[in-house]
Structure 1
Amino acid sequence: MSDGQRLWPGKFNHRWILWPPAVVLAVLLFAGGPGYHSLRSVQALWNLGHIVAFSLWTYLLVTWSRVEEYSPLRQRALGIAFCMVAGAGSEWIQSWIGRDASLGDVLRDVAGGWLTLSFFAPSAKSFSRHARRATGALAVFFLVVACLPLATALFDEAASRSRFPVLSDFETPFEKSRWEGGARYSVDTTIARRGKSSLRVDMDTSLYSGVSLVYFPRKWTGYRALVIDVLNPSPDPLDIRCRIHDKRHEEGERQTQDRFNRFYRLPPGWNEIRIDLDDVANAPKDRAMDLENIRAVGLFAMKLPAPRSMYVDSVRLE
């Protein structure tokens, strides 16, 4: 019996038992996965699958009879090279089949390989105790860093649920991750209408420039209005648009008449944007918007003659 077969005595006695999950993981690398607006925790958990996959594949590589004959150092170099080349190659392929390539995924691939080389590979025992401790500590560090997005997502999702009907007021950590957009945006702790923080949005002169709130409790039934506090810090009025859409719009043709759109001219200072949810429900041309499955709230400017800023605070339902 080889060292590779003795790794998990009585549980995995043959390498071939590992091949079915290895093949399944290879398929999942290019198919399936959470949707664009799935919970951030689900997306982060899915991304951790890269660590599992490359840990398993690296184990199969270094326990292959031909590779087992290599020196421990050569096995380690081969394992890392495999993770880097296969990881980068898979991301390149994904970019060509309509999926997003990610450097973070490549780093998770390498972390998975390093985890196996540090703890599970039979050759790991060939290194000195100090070397094993160092490589093991590095593997644990990689694993902790890789799990941080999952931890922060779970924390913010719990905060979001507990503070509903407040959708975002920037008073808890990690709220910035609820937002997306082409404009530059950051949490500002010097300006706020309520609490201590707001979201500063720096818009440029592109066709559309702004931000969207995309992670929040989706069910808005039972409330009358969406309220948003927006500061225009300039002495000149600021023209912005607010758009709201639901799941059906997102999965359909995304036509303008199938969502809520409204223009607002904001004078200098703080402004309260109050949107009646009946107006939101009746906004689509040929249907009612699904207030039980709202997907995004956007605030943006169009074709600004010069860069402008605004501050967003206390996005809430009333």
Structure 2
Amino acid sequence: MPTVANLRQSLLVLFAIVCAILLFVGGPDLVHARSFKRAWDLGHIPAFAVWTLLLLRGWPRLATLGWVTQVVVVVLLTVSVGGAVEIAQGAVGRYPGWLDVEHDILGSLLALFFGAPGRFHLPTHWRRLAQVAILGWLLLALVPVGRAWWMNGTWSVRFRYWPISKRRLSWNAGRATLAFPLITPSSPAGGPPFASISTRPNTAVQV
């Protein structure tokens, strides 16, 4: 009969495999809400947290090293693996971004300072200080998700769009402009004739 520890290990391995697959398969596209895209990008955090825990359990020699050495080794491996993942994503048509590597490091530090046995080698006040700093970093990483969610709600409540046939998409000097008639709660029915969204020259349109 499997023990609780073995069951936990199996679940971690299963979750790690699923995360590895989702780095290259699935995910949001241009039709999904921006808040969903921002939330999806945060998936690097739990993925690398789990992989770090598995690394510490599967590499006993690493656990015998000093705590600072463990942190340095794990962060260097995280940057190497995270950078390789971003390069591989670019090769298969995904959009690589170095912000993802930052999320990778954050996930590894969460695992180190909240789940690794070696964290107790640090004096209590230093460990608590590091944990507070890492949690603050995590909250900052969540800010773009909250902002995108708020913007999605604001746009959906404040604007009522006309049919797609009334919208105008133009292209000039590498700049795409989407113009559409709208009615806002504060304007009369014949209110501002058109609002427009423009991109920088030679960039993809994302609305």
Instruction: Give the TM-score band, short-chain normalised.
Output: 0.7 to 0.9
Length, aligned pairs only: 182
Change over 3 Å in CA distance of 1:13–1:300 after alignment to 2: closer
Q: In structure 2, how many angstroms separate the alpha carbons of the residues matched to 1:301 and 1:14?
A: 49
Q: Is the 8 A contact 1:91 1:101 kept in 2?
A: yes
What is the CA RMSD across the aligned residues, in angstroms? 3.0
Does 2:80 correspond to 1:122? no
State the 1:76 CA deviation. 1.1
Residue 208 of structure 1: aligned partner: 174
Runs of 4 or more above 3 Å deviation: 9-14, 210-213, 272-275, 297-302
Residue type matched to 1:226 in 2? Answer: P
Residue 105 of structure 1: aligned partner: 100
Question: Structure 2 stretches of 5 or more lacking a match?
Answer: 163-170, 184-191, 202-207
Does 2:57 correspond to 1:91? no
Residue 175 of structure 1: aligned partner: none
Residue 164 of structure 1: aligned partner: 159
Does 2:43 correspond to 1:49? yes
Q: In structure 2, how many angstroms separate the alpha carbons of the residues matched to 1:94 and 1:164?
A: 36
Residue 226 of structure 1: aligned partner: 181
State the 1:122 CA deviation. 1.2
Which structure has more strand as a fraction of its residues? 1
Q: Is the 8 A contact 1:79 1:113 kept in 2?
A: yes
State the 1:44 CA deviation. 1.2
Change over 3 Å in CA distance of 1:209–1:50 after alignment to 2: same
Identity within the alignment, %: 27
User: Which secondary structure does the structure 1 equivalent of 2:119 belong to?
Assistant: helix
TM-score (norm 1): 0.51
Q: Is the 8 A contact 1:63 1:122 kept in 2?
A: no
Residue type matched to 1:17 in 2? Answer: L
Match of 1:39 among 33, 41, 45: 33
Q: In structure 2, how many angstroms separate the alpha carbons of the residues matched to 1:62 and 1:106?
A: 20
Q: Which has the larger radius of gyration?
A: 1
User: Which secondary structure does the structure 2 equivalent of 1:63 belong to?
Assistant: helix
Question: Structure 1 stretches of 5 or more lacking a match?
Answer: 1-8, 168-181, 183-205, 214-224, 229-271, 276-296, 303-318
